[in-house]
Chain A
Amino acid sequence: MQLTQSSVGRKIIMAVTGIVLVGFVCVHLLGNSSMFVGADAINAYAQKLHSLGPFVWVFRLVMLVAFALHIVFGIQLTLENKAATPEANVQVKRLKTGFGAETMIVSGLVMLAFVIYHLLHFTVQVPGMGVYEMNEATNMVNVYTMVVAGFKSVLTVIIYLAGMFFLFLHVSHGFQSLFQTLGLSNDKSLPVTGMVSKLVGFVLLLGYIAIPLSIVFGCIKL
C-alpha cells in the first residue's frame, strides 16, 4: 500500500523500474552493435534470442510491467506535482536544475510514442512499414536487410535520431536520480553520479545513432 501510494514509495518504484529500463537499453545497444560486424552476426544474434522460446515471453512480460509501472507512476506523480504548484511567479530563475530534469514527462511520453513506433517497425513488422524478407531456413526475417532498408527512408532516420535525443535527455537526469531516490547518494557521490548520468545518456545517444548514421553514410550497406 505504502509503496504504491506514498510519495517516496512511488519514487522507489520509478527508480527500480528505471534500472530495468536503462539496463535494457544498454544490453539492447550491445546486441544492436552486431550490425557493425555484419549480416551474419546480427541475424545469428536475432535467431539466438528467438530460440530462447518461453523465456522471450517471460522477458517481454517483465519489460512490459516495468515500462507500464514507470509510465503510470511517472504521469501520476507529475500530475500531483502540477497540482501542488500554482501559477508561477512572474520572475522565475532556476539555479541548479536543467532542461533534461524539467522535461522528464515530455521526454518520457516521446519515448513511449517512439517505443510503440519502433516495436511496430522492427518487432511486429507491420507490412508496409519496412522490408521484411523471409529467410526460409530459419523461418525468420532477415534482420540485417530489414534494418538497412529501413533506414533508407529519411523520415525514419529523423524519427530515430529524435527518439534517441529524447532518450539522452531522459537518461541524463534519470540515471543519477535513481541513486538519490534509492538513498545511495551523499554530498561526495552526487556530483559524480551527476556526471556519470550525463555520460551514460551521451554514450547511449552516440551508440544508437551510430547505426542509422552508418547506413545513411554508406558504412553499413546491403
Chain B
Amino acid sequence: MKLKLHVWRQNGPNDQGKLETIDAPSVSPDQSFLEMLDDVNQTLALEGKDVIAFDHDCREGICGMCSQVINGVPHGGQDRTTVCQLHMRKFKDGDEIFIEPWKARAFPVIKDLVVDRNGLEKIMQAGGYTSCHTGGVADGNALPIGKPVADYSMDAAECIGCGACVASCPNSSAMLYTGAKVAQLAVLPQGKIEAAKRVMAMTEAAKENGFGNCSNHYECQASCPKGVDVKFISKLNREYMKALVK
C-alpha cells in the first residue's frame, strides 16, 4: 500500500509544531501501525533526516505507552484497540493519515508524538497507600470478596493509564482515569479504609496538575482502548459526596 502521512513534528513543549507530510510508499497490510512507523523512520534515518519520535513499549496492547491521535481519534478509533494493536489492513491504498500527539495542557509535548504524562502519575501518587496488616501472610480465603465486587474492581483496574481519555475529552479532563483508580480500591475492603481521603486527594491532584473538569461528554469511554466505563466517574462522584459528609 502507498500512504500519505501527515505527522505532527514539534521539537519541544515551547516549539510551535506543525504537520509534516511524509510518504510511506510500501506498507504491508500485515504490519501494525507502529511497525509502519518503524519502517518510515528507517527510511528517514537513512536519508539523514530527523526520525519521528513516538512512545511505545510492550506492543501487545497492555502497557499504555503508545499515544497517538490517528485521524482525530486517540488510538485510531478501532474499538478497544491501542495504536500498537491497530493494523494497516484497517487502511486502504492511497489513504491520507493524520498522526498527532495527545493534546492537553497537562500533557506537554516532549517531541513530535511523545508527551509528558506525569500528571496521571501525580494523581495516582496523591491516592496514597492502602492499609494492610503486618505479620504472617494472610490466608487466601480469609478475606471474602464477592464475585460481583471483584469483577467490578477488575473492570476498573483494566485502565492502563495511557491518557486517551484526556486526549479525547473536549475539556481535557482526567476524570475517567481518576474514577477508575478510585473505584477499583473503593469497593474492596483493603481500599475502604482510606477511601474518603483518597477520593478527595486524587480529585484535587487532577485539578492541580492542569486537567479540566468533567462535563459528561463520555468521549473518554468511547476512545478508551480498554473500554473503561463512565460508571466509574459516577462512582467517584458518589464516593466524593460520601467523603464530603464524613
Contact = CB atoms under 8 A, between A and B. Distances in A.
Interface of A: 2-3, 6-12, 77, 80-81, 83-97, 101-102, 104, 173, 176-177, 179-187, 190
Contacts of B204: 6
A182 B237 contact: yes
Contacts of A180: 216, 230, 233-234, 237
Most buried by B among A3, A6, A10, A85: A85
A89 B72 CA distance: 7
Interface stretch (B54-62, B85-93, B101-109, B131-139): B101-109
B100 interface: yes
B104 A95 contact: no
Contacts of A8: 203, 236-237, 240
A108 to B, nearest CB: 11
A81 B210 CA distance: 9
Contacts of B237: 8, 11-12, 180-183
Contacts of B235: 183
B69 A91 contact: yes
Nearest to A102: B170
B89 to A, nearest CB: 20
Contacts of B175: 7
A85 B170 contact: yes
Given A6-B207, A183-B238, A85 B105 contact: yes
8 tightest A-B contacts by CB?
A183-B238, A93-B72, A84-B212, A91-B72, A81-B171, A97-B217, A95-B222, A81-B212
Interface in B207-243: 207, 210-219, 221-223, 229-231, 233-241
B213 A7 contact: yes
Interface residues of B, number: 51
Contacts of A104: 215
Contact of B215 (A81, A87, A95, A96): A81
Nearest to B220: A96
B241 A81 contact: no
Contacts of A86: 103-105
A11 B222 contact: no
Contacts of B244: 2-3, 9
Contacts of B6: 90
Interface string B53-77: 0000000000000000101110001
A173 B172 CA distance: 19
Interface string B1-43: 0000010100000000001000000000000000000000000
Contacts of A173: 216
B241 A96 contact: no
Given A8-B203, A8-B236, A12-B241, A94 B172 contact: no
